[in-house]
Amino acid sequence: MATCPCARYAGRSAIGCPAGGQGRSPGRQQSGVLPEEMRLLVSENPNARTSRPSQVSHASGEGENGAFAPAAVVILAAGEGTRMKSRTPKVLHTLSGRSLLGHAIAVAGDLGPQRLVIVVGHAREQVSAAARAVAPEAAIVVQEQQLGTGHAVRMVIESLGVLAGTVVVTYGDMPLLRGRTLAELASRHAQAGNAVTVLTARGDFPGFGRIVRDADGAFLRIVEERDATEAELGIDEFNSGCYAFDGTLLADAIKRVTTSNSQREEYLTDVVEILRGDGHPVGALLAADPAEIRGVNDRVQLAQARRALNDRILTDWMLDGVTIVDPASTWNPRHAHHRQGRR
């Protein structure tokens, strides 16, 4: 089941989710299709409002084993998660021995960021305590009112100042997202010299924003489902809501995000349009495994994610030579891995 991001964090990928979550019709035109051999393509707006050259600065560092380390990873975990129908905050529900937030923190740790930032809001005391228990070095930023993803990131910048270098934004409810996927997003972003790089996936994700590309496959824009044309609804590449930004440009653009939408909230997707409109290069990276962008909104999706993550771990074990007689009835309760570094 695809998880509609508008239900998790307004403005993340889709502003409005259609009733019933209907997908696209099979006969619709597949526009904006990305060639399989071209997972990362950069786009600059030839009709930008300004003609100044892109001034992208990626002052990040080097992580473990010489891998690229972003300046910061920001985890958005302020949402209430009412569809869980639980007194427990959504991001503290568990699977494979970790909370949803714990998985997000572990994935962020794989990148070796210079700073880890966690945005909290609903049940902030509980969520903050849980975050500090596993990541005492993390900076906790409070979003007093949940006014959209753009507002959450603005609270980070207002609290901590400009985060120069590559800033990765992800979420506290995506337990299937792999560290290596975020690491590739950050490193490819820096290599391309982009102002922002969007993590995308192919599949069927009702309610998610579509990625529109030009005839050469270069990124053009994100179109929300409710605003899409019939041809755009046939696009099978979707916005995950995860991004790698140039931190300096992000700090400037986030101040220009408006609330001129039906939800009266600040959407992070608007930053992408602002940066491209300013003439800065924008790119998109296609996730190798579409399941990674699925999030958790309710207990059904939590159970589905728990099964998928358990299957992934057991598959790693079996490929490493461990005999598992019946994977369907075998559970790994502590998120242990047979070989270090596998995720």
CA dihedral 241, 23, 295, 95 (to 10 degrees): -160
Residue 142 identity: V
Q: Give the whole-angstrom CA distance, residue 319 versus residue 55.
A: 46
Output DSSP code: residue 2: P
Catalytic site residue 294? no
CB of 268 closer than 8 Å to CB of 239: no
Q: Which helix (H) or strand (E) holds 231?
A: helix 230-233
Q: Give the whole-angstrom CA distance, residue 326 versus residue 334.
A: 18
237 forms beta bridges with 202
Q: Tell me the pairing of strands 139-142 and 115-120.
A: parallel
Q: Could you say which of 28, 39, 83, 202 is catalytic?
A: 83
* 246: nearest Cα among 58, 6, 14: 58
Q: Give the whole-angstrom CA distance, residue 19 versus residue 17.
A: 6
Residue tagged 């600059």 (tokens): 44
Q: Give the whole-angstrom CA distance, residue 201 versus residue 238.
A: 5
Output DSSP code: residue 106: H
Angle ∠(304,309,312) on CA atoms, nearest 5:
130
Residue 291: φ, ψ to 5°: -60, -20
Residues 6+ apart with CB under 8 A from 88: none
Q: How many CA atoms lie within 13 A of 76 on its CB side?
A: 30
Q: Could you list the active site residues?
A: 83
